[in-house]
Amino acid sequence: MIAAHTVAQVRAAEGRVMARLPAGLLMQRAAAAVDVESARILREVAGGVVGRRVVVLAGAGDNGGDALFAAARTARRGADVLVLTTSGRVHAAGAAAARAAGARVRPFAPEDTALCAEADLLLDGIAGIGGSGGLREPLRPLPAALDADGGPVVLALDLPSGLDADAGRLDAAVLPADVTLTFGTAKPCHLLGPAARTCGRLVVVDIGITGELPAPSVRRLEPVDAARAWRRARPEDDKYSRGVVGVVAGGADYTGAAVLAVEGAVRAGAGMVRYGGPAHPAELVRHVRPEVVVGPGRVQAWVLGPGVAPDDEEQGARIAAALASGEPAVVDAGALARLPEGLAPQHVLTPHAGELARLLATLGRDVDRAAVEADPAAHAHDAARATGATVLLKGTVTTVAGPGGDVVTAASATPWLSTAGAGDVLAGILGTVLAGHAGALAADPTRAAELAAVAAVVHGRAAALAAAGGPVAARDVADAVPAALTSLPGW
Ligand SMILES: NC(=O)C1=CN([C@@H]2O[C@H](COP(=O)(O)OP(=O)(O)OC[C@H]3O[C@@H](n4cnc5c(N)ncnc54)[C@H](O)[C@@H]3O)[C@@H](O)[C@H]2O)[C@@H](O)CC1
Ligand SMILES: Nc1ncnc2c1ncn2[C@@H]1O[C@H](COP(=O)(O)OP(=O)(O)O)[C@@H](O)[C@H]1O
Ligand SMILES: [K+]
C-alpha cells in the first residue's frame, strides 16, 4: 500500500518531529535523497556525474531550500550545476551552500527555457506542498519546451510544481516529472487521477516523520495488499461459507452482460452463484456456466444491474428487493439509474465517469462527464456522501470513495482494459469479494471501500495477464482471474 497524507497532516507531523531535532535536519535528509537519486539518474542517462549538466529550479519556500542543498551536494560530486531561482526570495542558507560548492546561482529568465531543455537533469524545486495556482510566469512555457525528444530527465522534489498537493485535479500549468521524490509520505496528488499521471515514477523518501503520521486520507492498494485481503478457501469451508453471489443482470437486450458478470463471480472463486433474470439470458448463463443455480435463494452479496434496461420492471423488482435486504451489493449500470433511499457503505456503486455524472445530476449537481474526469476523487466522494454508499469510479485510475471520507485507489494495469463488458466482469469479481467478506462487512460496512479496490487490483492484473501487452476481450479477463490471483506477490 502507498499511503498519502494531506498537507495539514504532513505539516502537523513535521512540526512535532522538528521540535525535537536540530534545525534544518529534515531538509538535509530530503536533499541527501535528492542528490543520491540525481547521481543515479545521471549515471543512467549520461554515463556519469562529473561535468554533466544539471539545472535546478529553486522557488521561494522550503521546496526551493531542498533543491538548493541538493544542488550543493551534486555540485560537490563534480556535476556542472546551474541554479535558477524562480522567485525574488530564496532560501539564503541553501543558496550560500550551493555557491560554496561551486554551483552558479542566478534568477531565472525567459530565455533560460532553452538551457533547461539542454540539461541532462532538471530538478524541480519551484514549489512543493505550499504551492497553489499552477505554474506562474515566466515558467508557464517551460513544460511545452521540455516536451521534445531528448530533453532532460525531470526530477520533481516532493511533487511536480503546479499541482495542488491535496487534489487529483490538473486544471493549471504543471511541470510534469519523470521521477518524483516525495518526502515523509505520498500526498493525495501522487495517487489521484489525473494529477498522478504527471508524477512519473514515485519514490517516497523516509525523512523520519512516519511515526507521527495519522491514518492516511488516501491509499493506493498494490498487488501484495490484494493477496493479503483475498479470502482463501479453507479446509473447513463449504460452498455456503465461501460465499454465495446473487447476480441480477441482463435482460432481453443485453444477454452478454449476464454471462460476463456471472463469469467474473465464478472465476473469482464464489462458493456458488445464483442467477436472477428472464428465461433468455438464464438459458445462456446455464449453457456457459452449468454450475450456476437459476432462481432465488440465500445469498451473501449481490451483483445488480449489468445489462439491465432502465424500463425492465421484472429485473427492477429483483434489484429493489436485493437492496432492501441490506446485504452487501455491487450496484452497476442499470441498477445505478434506480437507486433507493437508505443506501449504506456495504452497497458499492460502480459507475464510469458518464454514469457518475448522470447520478450526480439526479442529485441536483451541475456536472458532466468531463467535470468528473477532471476530478474523479472529488466527485466520487460527493456521490458517496450524498447516497451513503461506497462509490467505485472506473477509469484509468480506479478511485473508491467511502461515505466517511476515505479514498482507496488502484492504478491501471493496462489501458486495453477499456473494452466493452470489462465492467461487467469487475462487478462479478467484486460480488465474490463482498460475499467472501460478508461477516467482516456486517461488523464494519466501511471495509467495502478497501475490498472494492482489492477487486479492482485483481481485475487489472487479470487484464494485464490476458492482454500480454496487446488487446484483450472482457471474457478473457474473467478467465485470467485465477492466474492473476496465484501470481500476486504473497499469495
Ligand atoms: N516542513 C518541513 O519540515 C519540510 C519541508 N520540506 C520541503 O518544504 C516544502 C514546503 O515548503 P513551504 O511551506 O515553504 O512551501 P513551498 O516551498 O512548497 O512553496 C511555498 C512558496 O512557493 C511560492 N509558491 C506557491 N505556489 C507557487 C507556484 N504555483 N509557483 C511558484 N511559486 C509558488 C509561495 O509564494 C511560497 O513562497 C515541502 O514540499 C518540501 O519540499 C522538506 O524540506 C522536508 C521537511
Ligand atoms: N484508460 C484506461 N486504462 C485502464 N483501465 C481502464 C481505462 N478506461 C477504463 N478502464 C477500466 O475498464 C473497465 C471498463 O468498465 P465499463 O466502462 O463499465 O465497461 P462496460 O460497461 O462496457 O463493461 C473498468 O474496470 C475501468 O476501470
Ligand atoms: K516541486
307 lines ligand 2 (CB under 6 A): no
Per-residue pLDDT at 386: 97
Reference 165, options 146, 143, 180; nearest CA is 180
Quote the CA–CA distance of 228 and 83 in Å, as a whole number.
Answer: 46
Q: 168 and 131 in one domain? A: yes
Asked if residues 410 and 488 have their Cβ atoms less than 8 Å apart, the reply is no
What is the share, in percent, of the chain residues with pLDDT greater than 90? Answer: 98
| Tally of domains in the chain | 2
Does 262 fall in a domain? yes
User: Residue holding cell 474523479?
Assistant: 376
pTM value is 0.95
- Which ligand has its closest atom nearest to the C-alpha of 160? 3
**pLDDT score for 243:** 95
How far does the centroid of ligand 3 lie from the alpha carbon of residue 261, in Å? 44
H/E stretch holding 457 reads helix 448-467
Confidence of residue 73 (pLDDT cuts 50, 70, 90): very high
Taking the CB of residue 240, how many other CB atoms lie within 10 A of it? Answer: 12
Whether 335 and 315 have beta carbons less than 8 Å apart is answered as no
Among the three residues 149, 183, 217, which one is the final residue of a domain in this structure? 217
Instruction: Tell me what the pLDDT averaged over the chain comes to.
Output: 97
Q: Is the CB of 354 under 6 A from ligand 2?
A: no
Q: Is the CB of 156 under 6 A from ligand 1?
A: no
Instruction: Please tell me whether residues 192 and 270 are part of one structural domain.
Output: no
Neighbours of 133 (CB within 10 A): 10
Nearest in space to 430 (alpha carbons), one of 355, 357, 349: 349
- What integer pLDDT is reported at residue 305 of this predicted model? 98
Q: Confirm or reject: Cβ of 421 under 6 Å from ligand 2.
A: yes
Tell me the angle at which helices 62-76 and 25-46 cross, rounded to the nearest 10 degrees.
50
Both 61 and 122 in a single domain? yes
Same domain? 61 vs 186 = yes
The closest-lying atom of ligand 2 relative to the alpha carbon of residue 414 is 4
| Contact 473 CB / ligand 2 (< 6 Å) | no
- CA–CA separation, 9 vs 12, rounded Å? 5
Cβ partners under 8 Å of residue 399, min gap 6: 168, 192, 193, 376, 377, 380, 392, 393, 407, 409
In a domain, 476, yes or no: yes
The Cα–Cα gap between 302 and 288 comes to: 20
Domain contains 148: yes
Q: Determine whether the shortest distance from the Cβ of 408 to ligand 1 is under 6 A.
A: no
Distance CA 283, CA 253 (A): 14
73: nearest Cα among 84, 85, 61, 81: 81
**CATH code for the domain of 396:** 3.40.1190.20
Three-state secondary structure call for residue 386:
helix
Taking 90 as the threshold, does the pLDDT of residue 65 lie above it?
Answer: yes
Is any atom of ligand 1 closer than 6 Å to the C-beta of 183? yes
Q: Are 37 and 203 in contact (CB under 8 A)?
A: yes
Q: Whose CA is nearest to atom 14 of ligand 1?
A: 61
The protein residues having their C-beta less than 5 angstroms from ligand 3 (an ion) are: 124, 156-157, 161
Does 315 reside within a domain?
A: yes
Distance 419 CA to ligand 2 centre (A): 6
Print the domain residue range for 439: 223-486
Domain boundary among 217, 234, 252: 217
Pick from 420, 281, 287, 423: which is nearest to 348 by CA? 423
CA distance 265 to 279: 20
- Ranges of beta strands (E only) in 300-442 are 301-304, 329-331, 347-349, 390-393, 398-401, 407-410
Instruction: Count other C-beta atoms under 10 Å from residue 203's C-beta.
Output: 13
The sign of the torsion formed by the CA atoms of 105, 111, 113, 118 equals: negative
Task: Answer whether 15 contacts ligand 1 (Cβ < 6 A).
Answer: no
- Please work out whether the CB of residue 264 comes within 6 Å of at least one atom of ligand 2: no
pLDDT class of 150 with cuts at 50, 70, 90: confident
Same domain, 182 and 230: no
What 8-state DSSP symbol labels residue 487?
Answer: T
Specify the CATH number for the domain of residue 42.
Answer: 3.40.50.10260
Residue nearest to atom 41 of ligand 1 (CA): 63
Q: What cell does 86 get?
A: 524562480
Which of 197, 303, 355, 394 to mutate for ligand 2's pocket (most ligand atoms within 8 Å of CB)?
Answer: 394
Which residue has a Cα nearest atom 21 of ligand 1? 61
CA-nearest of 393, 411, 414, 410 to 402 is 393
CA of 131 to the centre of ligand 1 (A): 6
CB 415 within 8 A of CB 445: no
C-alpha cell at 265: 463471480
What confidence score (pLDDT) does residue 252 get?
85
**483 pLDDT tier (thresholds 50, 70, 90):** very high
Q: Please indicate, yes or no, whether residues 171 and 311 belong to a single structural domain of this protein.
A: no
Tell how far the Cα of 60 is from the centroid of ligand 1, in angstroms. 7
Rounded to the nearest angstrom, the distance between the alpha carbon of 353 and the centre of ligand 3 is 30
Residues 421, 274 share a domain: yes
39, three cell numbers = 547521481
Residue 417 in any domain: the answer is: yes
Residue 156 sits in the same domain as residue 298: no
Q: How far is CA 482 from CA 302, 322, 353, in A?
A: 21, 28, 28
Domain boundary among 217, 233, 258: 217
pLDDT of residue 412: 84
Residue the block writes with cell 492498494: 221
φ/ψ of 109, rounded to 5, equals -120, 155
Local confidence band at 9 (pLDDT 50, 70, 90 cut-offs): very high
What confidence tens digit (pLDDT) does each residue in 206-264 have? 999 999 999 999 999 999 999 999 999 999 999 999 999 999 999 988 899 999 999 99
Ligand 1 atom at shortest distance from the alpha carbon of 18: 3
- State mean pLDDT over 72-79: 98
Comparing 268-277, 375-384, 412-421, 452-461, which segment has the lowest mean pLDDT?
412-421
Ligand 1 center–CA 375 separation, angstroms: 23
Distance CA 73, CA 102 (A): 10
Query: What value does the mean pLDDT take over residues 135-157?
Result: 93
Report yes or no on 296 lying in a domain. yes
Count other Cβ atoms within 10 Å, centred on residue 9: 21
Question: With a 6 A CB cut-off, is 129 part of the ligand 1 pocket?
Answer: yes
CB 126 near ligand 1, within 6 Å? yes
**In this structure, what C-alpha cell is assigned to residue 146?**
521540455
Residues annotated in a binding site for AMP: 394-398, 423
Q: What is the pLDDT of residue 99?
A: 98
Q: What are phi and psi of 180, to 5 degrees?
A: -120, 125
Q: What is the DSSP letter of 292?
A: P
Same domain, 212 and 305: no
> For the chain, give me the number of helices (H) and strands (E)?
20, 18
CA of 333 to the centre of ligand 2 (A): 12
Residue 491 forms part of a structural domain: no
Q: Which residues belong to the annotated binding site for (6S)-NADPHX? A: 62-66, 128-134, 158, 257, 307, 352, 424
Say if residue 126 is in the same domain as residue 232: no
Look at residue 147 and tell me whether its pLDDT is greater than 90. no
Q: Interior CA angle at 205 toward 200 and 207, to 5°?
A: 150
Closest ligand to 7 CA?
1
Residues 171 and 135 in one domain: yes
Indicate if the pLDDT at residue 433 is higher than 80: yes
Cβ atoms of residues 53 and 121 within 8 Å = yes
177 band by pLDDT with thresholds 50, 70 and 90? very high
Q: What is the ipTM of this complex?
A: 0.92
Report which protein residue has its CA nearest ligand 2's atom 25.
423
In the predicted model, is pLDDT for residue 276 greater than 90? yes
- Statement: residue 148 has pLDDT above 80: no
262 and 210 fall within a common domain: no
